[in-house]
Amino acid sequence: MKKVFISVPILLLVLLLWYLFIKPQDYQVSFKTKAIPGTIYETVKAWNMGFDSVVPLQFESPTHFEQTIVVNDSVHVYEWNITPIHDSLSQVKVNIKDPEHTLKNKVSVPFSDTDLEKGVRKTLIQFNGFLNDHLKDFKVSIVGEAELFSSFCACVALNTTPENKARGMMANYSLLNSFLVENGVTLNGLPFVEVENWDLKTNMLTYNFCYPILRSEKLPNHPDIAYKRIFSKKTLKAIYNGNYITSDRAWYALLDYAQKNNIAVENKPIEVFYNNPNMGGNELNWKTEVYMPLKESK
């Protein structure tokens, strides 16, 4: 009986020491949202750019990443952990820590509604509004397995962040379209993007912006334009409706579908664009076909 009596205070002391000095967060917020992890991650990235002091996210994976938010004279670290539940529903847990005031926060949180708690709740409510607004701006429909088209094409090689992919396309649209037409090249399809490297950790994208053309013996030379052939291959296909800036939401949807169905894919999407953004209109009517190549069997 004495051993039990002695062990209880020791256990309480250990728990107290763990809570004050080892527990990684000062405060945790948990919520569910109708979005897949990749969409949530990209939305946090976009939302993060709206703060006065912008600190890039520390990326580990679309389900786990760290955000630093400067609040007045404090620096708050948000550790995001996202768990898919089913279809497009995810459980989000955000662990928040104020490294300079962590002991004070841990002592105060159980006994009062602290400024940290109030501020975090307000911040994450704002994020939820931002996310819900974004979810209304696009639609992704998974088609399933499909064969990629084959085409000869003229391409411009680009290297941008995923957020600037559409800007890179628009900056080179006139070059491709006008130069080819003015030099007698026959266009033979819709413009498309062929991703060669999608580096999530560095947030960089290497891709070709291309126009299908009819091959001829006398193609004009240009220092920024290369000619190549796209070969047919097996892929997963999705239809994306929305602004081309955020078409990578379909990339994540295809990766999510592939993972759930044990399909091995290459993270090198191809996008075919049906609408010219310069013509305006309802962005939900803009259509993009998105293909994610299947890994070839060795």
Pick from 62, 64, 67: nearest CA to 36 = 62
Distance CA 26, CA 95 (A): 7
pLDDT score, position 73: 79
Q: Residue 67, Cα to own-chain centre: how many angstroms?
A: 14
**pLDDT value, residue 281:** 85
- Cα distances from 91 to residues 38, 60, 119, in angstroms, run 13, 18, 21
- Of 274, 253, 241, nearest to 137 by C-alpha is 241
Position 59, amino acid = F
pLDDT of residue 17: 40
Report which secondary-structure segment, H or E, holds 68. Answer: strand 64-71
Length of the chain: 298
Q: What is the pLDDT of residue 12?
A: 45
Give the domains, in start order, of the chain with CATH numbers. Answer: 21-136 (3.30.530.20), 140-293 (3.20.80.10)
Do the beta carbons of residue 243 and residue 229 sit within 8 Å?
A: no
- pLDDT for the residue numbered 276: 83
Instruction: Write out the chain's pLDDT in tens, 298 residues.
Output: 444 455 656 544 444 443 344 444 578 899 999 999 999 999 999 999 999 899 999 999 999 999 999 988 788 999 999 999 987 899 999 999 986 655 455 555 554 467 778 888 999 999 999 999 999 999 999 999 999 999 999 999 999 999 999 999 999 988 898 899 999 999 999 999 999 999 999 999 999 999 999 998 889 999 999 999 999 999 999 999 999 999 999 999 999 999 999 999 999 999 999 998 877 789 999 999 999 999 987 6
**In the chain, what is the greatest distance between 2 CA atoms, to the nearest angstrom?**
96
